[in-house]
Structure 1
Amino acid sequence: MEIRPYRSGDRAAVHDICIRTADAGQDASGSYADPGILPHIFAHPYAELEPELAFVLDDAGQAVGYVLGTADTAAFVRRFRDEWLPRVADRYPAPAGEPATPDEVMAHLLHTPERMILPDLKEYPAHLHIDLLPGYQRAGHGRALVDTFVGALRRAGVPGLHVGMITDNRSARAFYDRLGFHVVDVADPGPLTYLGLLC
C-alpha cells in the first residue's frame, strides 16, 4: 500500500471511487440516472487542472482512494468555468428551472462553480475532496492522504484549506475533527458545514 501522485491511468478508478463513495461514503450509483456527473464535478476537474495536488492510495497498482483539490479556490473556479465546463456542458446541460431531481441538482452545481467562492473562507483558500473505497476506510489511510495533501500545500506556501461537508455526515465530521479541522462560520452555509485547517 502506498500513496503516490495521480497518473492519467488512474482516471477510470477515480471515476469509479467517486461514484461508489458519493453517498456519505457509500455507493451513490442508484441515486442518479447518470451518476457519471459526480466525478465530473468532484474529481476529474481537480486531477486535470491541478494534477500536482492529486494523490491516490495504491494497492498493488490499483487506485483504491484519492485526495485531490486546489491550492486557490477562486483561481480554480475561473479555470473550471473557462477550461473545464466547456468540455462537459453539452453532456450535462444546466436545468431550465429550479432543480427537481438529483441529476438536476448536480447539473446545477456543475454550472455554478462560483458557489465555491465564499468571502468567509479567505484565510483558507485551498480545498480538497477525499474518498476511499469502503474496504479501505477507518484504517488510517484517510489521515495519510490528507497529510500528503497538506504537505504539498505547505511546500507551496498555502496558508490554509477548507472542506465543505454535508452537515448530517457525522462520520466525516468526526474524521475531520480528529485531524484538527475546526468550524468556520460562513454567512449562508446551506446544507453544508465548513471546516478549516491552517497549514
Structure 2
Amino acid sequence: MPTIRLYRPADFDALYDVCVRTGDNGGDATGLYRDPRILPDIFTGPYLVLRPDLAFVLADDADRAVGYIIGAADTAAFVADFRRDWLPTVAARYPEGSGTGWDAERIEQLHHPEWMWHEELADYPAHLHIDLLPEAQGKGAGRALMGTYLAALRARGVRRVHLGMSAANTNAKAFYDRLGFHELYRSPNGTGLTLGRDTD
C-alpha cells in the first residue's frame, strides 16, 4: 500500500525520473528534449531544494518514490528565490538563447522564472505540481497527496492555491475538476490553463 511522507534528499533522482516520465501531458517525455533533465530542472528540482518542507512523496511498499506533490506557499517569493539561488546552479547546462523548438521554450522558462507569477494570481498566492507514475494512478493516491498538501498550506495560513496545466491533458483536467479546482484563466492561444481553489 503506497504511503505519503515528507521528501528526503535520497528521493531526488527518483522524483526527477517521475517528472520526466510524466512530462508529456502525463506520458513519458524522455524523447521530447535533447536533454530531458530540463523538465525537472524547472518543475521539480527547485522545489526540492528551495521548499523541501512542502514536498511530499508517494512511496510504494519498497519505499520507492512513485509520485509527488510539490509547490510554494508564496509564488512571488519563490520566483525571486528561483532566480537568485536555483538558476545559477543549472544555467550553464542550458545556455540562454540555445536550443530549438521545445528545448528553446523550456530554456526560456528556466532563465525567466517570472512567467510563474502575475498580479492576477494575487488571491491565489500558493501553487503546486503533482505527478504520479501510471502504476500509482487511479487508486486515490492523487487525492490523498492533494489533501496532504492543502493541509500543509492551511497550517501556514494560506487560503488559496493555483496550478498551471496544458489544456490538452484532459485526464488531469478531469482529476482537478473532481477535486474542486476551477478555471481562473486560459492562455491567449488556448493551450494553457490556470486553475485554482481554496485550501479548505
Cα offset, 1:61, TM superposition: 1.1
Report whether the alignment pairs 1:65 with 2:80.
no
Report whether the alignment pairs 1:170 with 2:170.
yes
Specify the alignment match of 2:50 in structure 1: 49
Q: Determine helix, strand or coil for the equivalent of 1:29.
A: coil
Specify the alignment match of 1:91 in structure 2: 93
Specify the alignment match of 2:127 in structure 1: 127
Specify the alignment match of 2:196 in structure 1: 196
Q: Contact (CA 8 Å) 2:67, 2:131: kept in 1 or not?
A: yes
Q: Contact (CA 8 Å) 1:18, 1:38: kept in 2 or not?
A: yes
Matched positions, count: 197
Counterpart of 2:3 in structure 1: which amino acid? E
Q: Contact (CA 8 Å) 1:120, 1:186: kept in 2 or not?
A: no
Specify the alignment match of 2:82 in structure 1: 80
Identical pairs, percent = 52
RMSD over aligned CA atoms reads: 1.4
Normalised to the residue count of structure 1, the TM-score between the two structures is 0.95
Q: Deviations over 1:164-197 (max 9, x none)?
A: 1111211111000000011113685863111101
Q: Contact (CA 8 Å) 2:186, 2:192: kept in 1 or not?
A: no
Distance 1:167 1:133 in 2: 20
Cα offset, 1:22, TM superposition: 0.2
Q: Determine helix, strand or coil for the equivalent of 1:103.
A: helix
Specify the alignment match of 1:3 in structure 2: 4
Structure 1 residues 155, 133: closer, same or farther in 2, change over 3 A?
same
Specify the alignment match of 1:185 in structure 2: 185
Q: Contact (CA 8 Å) 2:47, 2:72: kept in 1 or not?
A: yes
Give 4+ residue runs of structure 1 displaced > 2 Å after superposition.
Answer: 185-191
Distance 2:103 2:114 in 1: 19
Q: Deviations over 1:121-170 (max 9, x none)?
A: 11110000010111111111111111110000000001110011111211
Q: Contact (CA 8 Å) 1:120, 1:185: kept in 2 or not?
A: no
Cα offset, 1:100, TM superposition: 3.2
Counterpart of 2:95 in structure 1: which amino acid? P
Q: Deviations over 1:11-53 (max 9, x none)?
A: 0100100000000111000111100111000001001101110
Q: Determine helix, strand or coil for the equivalent of 2:158.
A: coil
Cα offset, 1:87, TM superposition: 0.4
